[in-house]
Chains A and B, each alone.
Chain A
């Protein structure tokens, strides 16, 4: 593992910490259908209410408050990646400006989530001998540095590398071994890489909007944080974030992300099918999908006629009607295809070995009627639709499943997990730069 790669991540972390200390952080979820911006205000003394005794710790979830929300239709984003820089920049500016206006605060630091970039998960493990008997933070850093990193490719960028569990002398499943006594410390780590160009594009986009990037995360991970309840996160669950451009999968156990992937299919494809099947505009197709869409047909649906506006109509009498079951017939194959892709990815991840195998559907496309039934049938496990947990100050309009990633990112910002670069790396591994500098110093002086 070459830690110089983590320079950007370290920088983002310090910026995020500084921003949280200053009190204002913006969350930006760049999706294929919408860009959502939340402005969070961190109050240092929310927990310090005198009425509660000191022994009771109030959960840190309440430590922030959403003071501004801005949403706008996303443009120039395809498959969760920036396709047209200029358009995306404008969409981001719109969302940020609206959120700022609502909050009455200027934001400089944003934490961004995106769904594309072909995320790939790697499970790493490393083992070291504990130096002084007692495991210290240094040992953890050394253990993580000892992980053998697979060649993930030239143009890939690790955006998350978190320790999942530690093993200390054949005692597995420790989440925090610090302070314990042992000889051998082994760590299992989960590393997530995405395409480097996607990240660079995002950076460039933020720069053009005068914003500083204070964090980067993929949206399926963020959605999982907000839509899975604590039990599910602890015992094992998968979150399927069905966006417009791509469908993200994240698998959690012991409150840690162990697998993330994305299927490059989403709600836009369903709309596209409707557009082609019913011969209508994209906007009309989107409207029909959201108003009448469904995936499970019943007898009533044969009789329920949906009026399809015809842009070519010469006079008013020329109207078309389709039955709802026809619409379902158009939508269902695509949804099935998406879910089958998801099942393939889940099977590849080893999800079936988890103690609990709850599947939670979230994201904008999860609001299609009957999708939980279909998902249960295809994925073979019980599925539920997950809405993000409620956070303070979030307006009603932004509490839907489509905001799961944004809310999850807010939770992540207020309660960040330890990443591998949060730990001190052994000096001999912090790049060859320092070693080279030392060598040069030696040569110059002797």
Chain B
């Protein structure tokens, strides 16, 4: 007889049918495929790190790993090189940076080192980099002293911007640099340099520049002579004086002060001896009856 085995039913069960239809919804699919795994992972991570002992273990392990990595000879810094740095400054930099070689380049705080080096007065900017082969290179741009500034009783070397470079014990140590004195003198170094350059023809006689009232300059010469310069237009005023000197030999005469503060009315102040001599000559000229 014919077998009565029922044929296989190709139709999906209602549950399966509904599930497949649900699965075809894009939103459902996205939730299951993306947000559900993300949420589970986040939950697991949060639950794990809520446990203090686990956190401690992880911290210790990571620290150990870090140490092992830092101790690798490939990462050690063994030498420091200073291209184009004077010995004196090298010593200063070594003192300031407090490097204990060899040190791992992972533990080297390059930013702090750079700040420390740049905190030195003699250093304008510094570049620090770790080269291959365990070499630490410190490149510096040194400050160039242009004037000697007497600050109270201390003599200081000052660069173009008025920044201190170093102290010196005696003026004669840097006799080649002009001397500036006075309150606020270090802030106008550039102008002072210009004035000194203008006065180069009498450079042998210049003793220094005095800042008066943090406002204007006095050019002090030897033999107690002073050229008082105005607040504005000091350079042209000095040029006039120099011109007068070259033409009339002004500064070699018995002049104490050349007052150029008012450009329209320059004033000469003579020495006492010169005044009495002048008076004597005038009476002589005026007549016998004097």
Residues on A lying within 8 angstroms of B by beta carbon are 72, 90-91, 93-94, 96-97, 100-101, 104-106, 209-210, 281, 311
B2 at the interface (CB under 8 A from A): yes
Q: Which 3 A-B pairs have the closest CB atoms?
A: A106-B24, A90-B11, A94-B11
A398 to chain B, nearest CB (A): 18
**6 A–B contacts from the bound complex (CB under 8 Å):** A93-B12, A93-B14, A93-B17, A94-B10, A100-B24, A105-B24
Q: Complex Cα distance A210/B14, Å? A: 10
Q: Give the residue among B2, B12, B17 with the most A Cβ atoms within 10 A.
A: B17
- What residues of chain B lie closer than 8 Å to A93, measured between beta carbons? 11-12, 14, 17
Q: Are B20 and A97 in touch, CB under 8 angstroms?
A: yes
Given A100-B24, A106-B24, A311-B2, decide whether A210 and B12 contact each other with a Cβ distance below 8 A.
no
Least CB separation from A312: chain B residue: B1
- What residues of chain B lie closer than 8 Å to A91, measured between beta carbons? 11
Q: Complex Cα distance A194/B108, Å? A: 91
Q: Complex Cα distance A281/B1, Å? A: 12
* Majority-rule SS of B interface residues: loop
Number of A-B contacts (CB under 8 A): 31
Given A94-B12, A311-B2, decide whether A101 and B18 contact each other with a Cβ distance below 8 A.
no
Least CB separation from A94: chain B residue: B11
- What residues of chain A lie closer than 8 Å to B14, measured between beta carbons? 93
Q: Complex Cα distance A94/B11, Å? A: 5
Q: Are B24 and A72 in touch, CB under 8 angstroms?
A: no
Pick the residue among B11, B20, B25 that contacts A101 (CB under 8 A): B20
- What residues of chain A lie closer than 8 Å to B12, measured between beta carbons? 93-94, 97
B21 at the interface (CB under 8 A from A): yes
A104 to chain B, nearest CB (A): 7
Q: What mask results when residues 236 to 276 of chain B are scored 1 for a CB within 8 Å of chain A, else 0? A: 00000000000000000000000000000000000000000
Q: What mask results when residues 1 to 44 of chain B are scored 1 for a CB within 8 Å of chain A, else 0? A: 01000000111101001101100110000000000000000000
Least CB separation from B28: chain A residue: A106
Q: Complex Cα distance A72/B18, Å? A: 18
Least CB separation from A283: chain B residue: B7
- What residues of chain B lie closer than 8 Å to A96, measured between beta carbons? 17
Q: Are A100 and B10 in touch, CB under 8 angstroms?
A: no
A50 to chain B, nearest CB (A): 30
Least CB separation from A97: chain B residue: B12
Least CB separation from A103: chain B residue: B24
- What residues of chain A lie closer than 8 Å to B25, measured between beta carbons? 106
- What residues of chain B lie closer than 8 Å to A90, measured between beta carbons? 9, 11
Q: Are A210 and B21 in touch, CB under 8 angstroms?
A: yes
- What residues of chain B lie closer than 8 Å to A104, measured between beta carbons? 24
5 additional A-B residue pairs with CB within 8 Å, beyond A72-B11, A93-B11? A90-B11, A93-B14, A97-B17, A100-B24, A210-B18
- What residues of chain B lie closer than 8 Å to A97, measured between beta carbons? 12, 17, 20
- What residues of chain B lie closer than 8 Å to A94, measured between beta carbons? 10-12
Given A106-B25, A311-B2, decide whether A72 and B10 contact each other with a Cβ distance below 8 A.
yes
B231 to chain A, nearest CB (A): 77
- What residues of chain B lie closer than 8 Å to A105, measured between beta carbons? 24
B24-71 contacts to A (CB < 8 Å): 24-25
